[in-house]
Structure 1
């Protein structure tokens, strides 16, 4: 597992492009070996020279986001013009994946959400518009207001990491994990929320027998007027409604 120093060094070129935001640079399973995610800067490498990884590759070289006016496009699934990763993270039902963001700004408070979609065949041949996702976990406002303490603050405090537990009864198969942060610092204005979806291929083993629910396409998750999307972070509030479908509790 790389140290925080090595993660920062890996991220330095992208931070020069945009001194904020981030991407999932790698993953470990149950604290084991490091598996690369997807670095947007690979887009600038000569064709065929970028490494094959489980992370979906997207046109987010500006380290940017998907805005509410694009919620009805496939960009909201796995980021802008995303294409599937070439390999898989290997895990079993019940395992804990630790996702490492290269960085995340402490001003970008908001929820962290996780979804799974089962692939029809190989996820390496999937398309963003062919995935139907089921939400498996979420975290949002933890305490306080204006702006309060959020799931993103926990991510930063934990060395820019977020844990995702694969449902313990999940049937073996090929899945896409959709991991997302929604930054709310500008969400008081229409079209101000910022979604940062990240997708990775996972090959799940084990003896689980529960099928993932049918789910829904990412284009059905949110609308620009949802209370968790149009939200005034820098005012007094007592609660926050995490957007999207309900969490599957199998």
Structure 2
């Protein structure tokens, strides 16, 4: 009988791990959901804290089920505590056991509406605070040393809105034991950050190194479980990258002093002068052929124009002395 009573007493002590009994936001105190008294109240209290059915103050070990989100059978609080982005939320536990060592981790999830009616399975959490093992001291030890309380800073760049704060201790003295506690917050401020998150039932995997650490072997390092930690400015859009330089090589600079030759233009086809019946009229001359024009005025070293009779003909060049009449004759005939 005595042995049975001792075992019962031990079991009761082991079950009574703890819960968040108080939340302080900017100097304002809010009650936590007191699982040791609240479930039996005639009128359920309206709180910012979520309710749970963990009346034994125990844990959940449901890695990927709904209880991992905000504890066993958790339901949203009816109210929200207002906090400015960048301010601190302090959660205080009613108690914690010193041999239940492990990390303390905090998340936020945007309710995208009223947190009092949110479907918890739709919440996507981003990690804002996490501490594991530092110089041989576990985060749970620090929490105890601080009067069983923990300070959580809301990211300063967070966009205003309604959020669920998920505060959690994970005890590693045996198989991992999860103690999540949820609180509704109304974040204010001019921030613009909207961090992406992870659905609550996908936060953890059983194979993570952070769940396979033997605290009794006094490890010197510890890998925190869960997604990466969000830091202020993590999702700030960066400046667009400059356009890449063209891969086409630039044309080489000219090193010649010569004037580039104009693009050749094919002259109009014409009948050779010796067989032409077409007549032209110089400015002050009678009707005559191009041959007569050349014969009348002789030849000169100044070249006025050149033509090609046809693709298969020998080019005929007529040279004239430059003056008004010959120039008029040449332009009328060849342009």
TM range, smaller chain: 0.7 to 0.9
Map 1:96-175 onto structure 2 (within 5 A): 96-144=88-136, 149-175=137-163
Q: Which residue of 2 aligns with 1:85?
A: 77
Are the equivalent residues in 1 in contact too, given 2:210–2:224 (CA < 8 A)?
Answer: yes
In the alignment, is residue 227 of structure 1 matched against residue 209 of structure 2? yes
Of 29, 33, 54, the match for 2:28: 33
**2: CA distance, partners of 1:88 / 1:202:** 5
Q: Provide Cα deviations, 1:101-158, integer angstroms capped at 9, x if missing partner.
A: 11111111110000000002100001221111000110010122xxxx1111111111
**2: CA distance, partners of 1:248 / 1:167:** 9
Secondary structure of the 1:133 match is strand
Report deviation, 1:18. Answer: 5.9
Secondary structure of the 2:124 match is coil
* Gaps in structure 2 of 5+ consecutive residues: 1-11, 233-335
**2: CA distance, partners of 1:58 / 1:19:** 15
Q: Provide Cα deviations, 1:53-99, integer angstroms capped at 9, x if missing partner.
A: 010101100111111xx111010000011100010111100011111
Are the equivalent residues in 2 in contact too, given 1:65–1:195 (CA < 8 A)?
Answer: yes
Secondary structure of the 2:91 match is strand
In the alignment, is residue 247 of structure 1 matched against residue 243 of structure 2? no
Q: Which residue of 2 aligns with 1:203?
A: 186
Map 1:7-86 onto structure 2 (within 5 A): 20-30=16-26, 32-41=27-36, 42-46=38-42, 49-67=43-61, 70-86=62-78
Are the equivalent residues in 1 in contact too, given 2:112–2:161 (CA < 8 A)?
Answer: no
Report deviation, 1:17. Answer: 7.5
**2: CA distance, partners of 1:183 / 1:242:** 13
Matched pairs, number: 221
Question: Which of 1 and 2 has greater Rg?
Answer: 2
Secondary structure of the 2:68 match is helix
* Gaps in structure 1 of 5+ consecutive residues: 1-15, 187-191
Report deviation, 1:238. Answer: 2.4
**2: CA distance, partners of 1:236 / 1:205:** 42
Are the equivalent residues in 1 in contact too, given 2:21–2:33 (CA < 8 A)?
Answer: yes
Q: Which residue of 2 aligns with 1:4?
A: none
**2: CA distance, partners of 1:185 / 1:220:** 23
Are the equivalent residues in 1 in contact too, given 2:15–2:56 (CA < 8 A)?
Answer: no
Report deviation, 1:44. Answer: 2.0
Of 163, 173, 177, the match for 2:165: 177
